[in-house]
Structure 1
Amino acid sequence: MLAVDDAVALALSMVAPVRESEAVGLGHAVGRIAARTLCAPRPMPFFDQSAMDGFAIRLGDLDGEGPWHLEVAGTVAAGDSPSGAALPAGAAWRIFTGAPVPRGADAVVRAEDCTDMGALLTVRHRPREGANIRPLGSDIARGAELVAGGTRIEPRHVGLLAANGHTTLDVVRRPRIGILSTGSELLSRAAPDGGRIFDANRPMLIALAERAGAEAVDLGILDDDRQETARTLARHAGRFDMLISSGAVSVGARDFVRAALLDAGGRVHGWKVALKPGKPAMFATLKRTAYLGLPGNPLAAFVGFELFARAQIARLAGAGGDGAVEVRALAGFAASRKTGRTEFVPARVRDRSPEGLPVLETLGNGSSGTLHALCQADGLAVIPAGVSGIAPGDPLGFRAFAPSGAGPGTGDAA
């Protein structure tokens, strides 16, 4: 069996970043991956800009000891243009935050440091040279990097790009992921009948893939038929960056996916992982398409996606890292277990240690066939393969679920 880290490395080795890109409006760029580095087309600010409401003055007009009296020769507000006019000698311009500083002015004195008498101004304190002026290019130089290629775009990036005049952005094409379920017992719509059940995995995996930044395509449900499975896989080979199936990857008499994939011309690179739940995971390629076969039990399918498919989608999209964050945590429970497999258990943060680490309690009865405990959890507790017994206070790993509304990737434990 593959160790979990080795299985992740194998999964990543089967995919390469998508090369195609497309232009999208900034309003649709959040969560997408920048296809190239963008640099500032001009310096920022675009002009010498007032940082305060006050008066633009020339320090050379403040002779001797103050206070000093100046004529107010004009007004300039944000959005106005001084039209190249110079500040007259012995005069000041009333100026507002964000306005362009008139030529010849070398300081802006704050309104609270003046006595404003309308047409006349009394300056009570001499400002330093350049006071309250944001010089042209002082924030961002022309040609400075704004967003590096491979960055996952967040709202803060949108704001920066918009401030620099960008309205569209070249982003990496979303990875195309085909998702299917296997099992003659599965239903998609009709009411359960006899021994048949609803298909939970395919809708869940589609949602996970979309949230990870992929374009997920629903390929439906395949019956437990080796020939039909092989024909379906062959038909979709090369049409997608990756295929994900759930079910029929173990060693039962009706577990046909591995054999069907070989019939379709595929190649299996790895099978079975020292993982609980999710041991029968299969890693394969079919022409240019990566293939991930996940177990049919819903919790095992979820864990397999989080460990393997999320990392693969991140690499396909050209994003740095795999989007998953595992933090240190402490057990708030006692348990005994068999060694040999890394275990991922739905868990809730019960408390915080004095050092601020999450203290976890596990949920559910250990079954991988239900998602009920998962939906009450804050994340997945990670129990190392070599651990046979757990006592309160023992160290664990913890993968917190992303908060509702978050983009691709997982959240932290805060």
Structure 2
Amino acid sequence: MPGPTAPAGARRADRGAAGDAAPTVAPRPDGSAAGRHRGDRDPAGHPHATDWETAHRTARRAARHLPARALPLAEAIGHTLAEPLTALTDLPAFDTAAMDGWAVSGPGPWTLEPGGAVLAGHDRPSPLADGLAVPIATGARIPPGTTAVLRRERGRTVADRLRGPNPSPGADIRPRGQECRTGAGLLPAGTPVTPAVLGLAAAAGYDRLTVRPRPRVAVLVLGDELLHRGLPTGGRIRDAIGPMIGPWLTALGAEPVSVRLLGDLPAGSPGTTAGAGESTAPRTGAGARTGGSGGADTLVEELLAAADDADLVLTSGGTGAGPVDRVHPALRALGARVTVDGVAVRPGHPMLLAELPNGIPLVGLPGNPLAAVSAVLTLVAPLLHGLTGRPEPGAGTARAHLTSPVSRHPRDVRLVPVRLPAPGEAEPVGWAGPAMLRGIAVADAVAVLPPGPVPAAGRVRLLELPRP
């Protein structure tokens, strides 16, 4: 039976609660093939696996848009437009000089207007009569009566006369509204706020932007076998997921608020501590990034603490059915609603997607590094895009021809790291086992290979890799 749940923090109040939904996690048969950090399980031990396309769509649809907020331009970088950006003014707001030179009226030669140059920032320059010219700076407002701007390098002055080739009417004048008119749509909602977007918004008259904030993500890295510095020794291995997950979350538009390094915590139930004979690995290691619940002693308490100040919780490891795989028992104890319980994909079969009782989504990454990457691409990326309203890169439509055939899995989708040596070409790089990162480290994208009895060839779908 699900245990009671601790109240969510005030920051979560806008999410609603899902605690009244019946838990949908079914106990798994003991003795199924290796769990986290030890390889993906065989489909026979994972009878509820969701097909890859359905899992990808489910993750996107599971996300509720984060509440919008208005921020000063200087604070909006990295967030996502919650509303379309429309021009509050014509751009440019008046006719301006595109080059340094002379504003001229009619054909030359011209008599220089006394009184000095027209500079940027002058509000209302004097009208220019036919046959006259006046020096003008780039960006300055064009005097009424100007027919063109003669570039400085094309003209010469002798006393009060300007000579040079007659410019075409309108030459080197940026007319009012050349870029856009007031009310024109500039960018759609869902656009990431980059430095260029900030510049465009400022030019269009904005002081504040209405944005959806970067999702806050809490990460729990599980496993007694993990080392966080030095060489593998004594049957223990280096944690490869912890160092890479934060930068990838940032590249996906999220804000990793904590990456906690935990041992194989007992699943527990809310309000309990480790039982007799159970041990809890230290929550911080050398060089570890920490945050979260402080004195929590069970995975349930760690999950509650993580969800209290995050928009998404990730766990790494522990999603299998082995003796120390405690993510499923912890979710059952919480009464969480599991919507994706394993995915028919290689690597990454035992990934999962759940909703915690306070409405916060949770993604369980497998413990093998490339399997975790598969889960990031399959579940985390579309979920983050759903939270912010961002479209997925390329909308999943990018295609390329494989430069050589690649073996497929008979029942599951395969995700294979590839280089993109030329437009429209995808070169498999190898090293695609669930525990390997060598291939993904040199890859430009990941090819999605549907299941089948013969090697894949021809055009395949590509998934973009998040880049910092």
The TM-score bracket by the shorter chain reads 0.7 to 0.9
Conserved in 1, the CA contact under 8 Å of 2:418 and 2:444?
Answer: yes
Q: CA deviation at 1:330?
A: 2.9
Structure 1 residues 400 and 230, CA, compared in 2 at 3 Å: closer, same or farther?
closer
Structure 1 residues 279 and 119, CA, compared in 2 at 3 Å: closer, same or farther?
same
Aligned equivalent of 1:202: 242
> Which one of the candidate residues 311, 314, 318 is aligned to 1:241?
311
1:361 aligns with 2:431: no
TM-score, with structure 2 as normaliser: 0.73
Aligned equivalent of 2:41: none
Conserved in 2, the CA contact under 8 Å of 1:56 and 1:95?
Answer: yes
Aligned equivalent of 2:93: 46
> Which one of the candidate residues 373, 388, 399 is aligned to 2:453?
388
The separation in 2 between residues aligned to 1:115 and 1:54, in whole angstroms, is 10
The separation in 2 between residues aligned to 1:131 and 1:338, in whole angstroms, is 63
**Partner SS for 2:142:** coil
The separation in 2 between residues aligned to 1:126 and 1:303, in whole angstroms, is 60
User: Which amino acid in the other structure matches residue 386 of structure 2?
Assistant: R
1:174 aligns with 2:214: yes
Moved more, 11-20 or 335-344: 335-344
Aligned equivalent of 2:117: 76
Q: CA deviation at 1:132?
A: 4.1
User: Which amino acid in the other structure matches residue 105 of structure 1?
Assistant: T
Aligned equivalent of 1:374: 440
Q: CA deviation at 1:259?
A: 1.7
The separation in 2 between residues aligned to 1:320 and 1:359, in whole angstroms, is 23
Stretches of structure 1 lacking an aligned partner (at least 5 in a row) = 408-414
> Which one of the candidate residues 198, 221, 246 is aligned to 2:262?
221
The separation in 2 between residues aligned to 1:328 and 1:110, in whole angstroms, is 47
Aligned equivalent of 2:52: 4
The separation in 1 between residues aligned to 2:353 and 2:261, in whole angstroms, is 21
Conserved in 2, the CA contact under 8 Å of 1:73 and 1:92?
Answer: no
Aligned equivalent of 1:252: 322
The separation in 1 between residues aligned to 2:264 and 2:167, in whole angstroms, is 84
> Which one of the candidate residues 135, 150, 153 is aligned to 2:175?
135
Q: CA deviation at 1:260?
A: 1.2
Conserved in 2, the CA contact under 8 Å of 1:315 and 1:322?
Answer: no
Select the structure that is richer in strand: 1
Aligned equivalent of 1:185: 225
Aligned equivalent of 2:284: none
1:119 aligns with 2:186: no
Number of residue pairs matched by the alignment: 389
Aligned equivalent of 2:413: 342
The separation in 1 between residues aligned to 2:130 and 2:458, in whole angstroms, is 75
User: Which amino acid in the other structure matches residue 383 of structure 2?
Assistant: Q
Q: CA deviation at 1:191?
A: 6.5
> Which one of the candidate residues 33, 36, 39 is aligned to 2:80?
33
Q: CA deviation at 1:110?
A: 5.4
Structure 1 residues 397 and 124, CA, compared in 2 at 3 Å: closer, same or farther?
closer
The separation in 2 between residues aligned to 1:265 and 1:144, in whole angstroms, is 49
TM-score, with structure 1 as normaliser: 0.82
Conserved in 2, the CA contact under 8 Å of 1:74 and 1:92?
Answer: no
The separation in 2 between residues aligned to 1:36 and 1:142, in whole angstroms, is 16
Q: CA deviation at 1:358?
A: 1.2
Q: CA deviation at 1:50?
A: 2.5
The CA deviation string for residues 190-234 of structure 1, in whole angstroms up to 9 with x for no partner, is 765523323222332222212211111223314241212223223
Q: CA deviation at 1:152?
A: 1.1
1:156 aligns with 2:226: no
**Partner SS for 1:206:** helix
Q: CA deviation at 1:324?
A: 6.7
User: Which amino acid in the other structure matches residue 454 of structure 2?
Assistant: G
Conserved in 2, the CA contact under 8 Å of 1:33 and 1:319?
Answer: yes
User: Which amino acid in the other structure matches residue 358 of structure 1?
Assistant: E
The separation in 1 between residues aligned to 2:60 and 2:374, in whole angstroms, is 16
Conserved in 2, the CA contact under 8 Å of 1:330 and 1:394?
Answer: yes
The CA deviation string for residues 384-406 of structure 1, in whole angstroms up to 9 with x for no partner, is 11x22227x5333333535xxx4
1:332 aligns with 2:403: yes
**Partner SS for 1:207:** helix
Task: Give the aligned CA root-mean-square deviation in angstroms.
Answer: 3.1
Conserved in 2, the CA contact under 8 Å of 1:74 and 1:94?
Answer: no
Conserved in 1, the CA contact under 8 Å of 2:316 and 2:366?
Answer: yes
Structure 1 residues 335 and 112, CA, compared in 2 at 3 Å: closer, same or farther?
closer
Conserved in 2, the CA contact under 8 Å of 1:34 and 1:150?
Answer: yes
**Partner SS for 1:399:** strand
Moved more, 246-255 or 71-80: 71-80
User: Which amino acid in the other structure matches residue 392 of structure 2?
Assistant: G
Structure 1 residues 257 and 106, CA, compared in 2 at 3 Å: closer, same or farther?
same
Q: CA deviation at 1:346?
A: 2.6
User: Which amino acid in the other structure matches residue 275 of structure 1?
Assistant: V
Conserved in 2, the CA contact under 8 Å of 1:114 and 1:122?
Answer: yes
Conserved in 1, the CA contact under 8 Å of 2:96 and 2:174?
Answer: yes
**Partner SS for 2:354:** strand
Structure 1 residues 346 and 119, CA, compared in 2 at 3 Å: closer, same or farther?
same
**Partner SS for 1:161:** helix
Conserved in 1, the CA contact under 8 Å of 2:124 and 2:141?
Answer: no
Moved more, 207-216 or 40-49: 40-49
Conserved in 1, the CA contact under 8 Å of 2:216 and 2:310?
Answer: yes
1:290 aligns with 2:338: no
Percent identity (aligned): 30
Kindly indicate whether structure 1 or structure 2 has the higher relative contact order, using CA contacts under 8 Å at least 6 residues apart.
2
Conserved in 1, the CA contact under 8 Å of 2:335 and 2:356?
Answer: yes
Structure 1 residues 301 and 127, CA, compared in 2 at 3 Å: closer, same or farther?
closer
The separation in 1 between residues aligned to 2:448 and 2:218, in whole angstroms, is 29
Conserved in 2, the CA contact under 8 Å of 1:34 and 1:169?
Answer: yes
Q: CA deviation at 1:19?
A: 0.5
The separation in 2 between residues aligned to 1:230 and 1:54, in whole angstroms, is 71
User: Which amino acid in the other structure matches residue 200 of structure 2?
Assistant: L
Conserved in 2, the CA contact under 8 Å of 1:326 and 1:397?
Answer: yes
Moved more, 296-305 or 161-170: 161-170
Q: CA deviation at 1:80?
A: 5.4
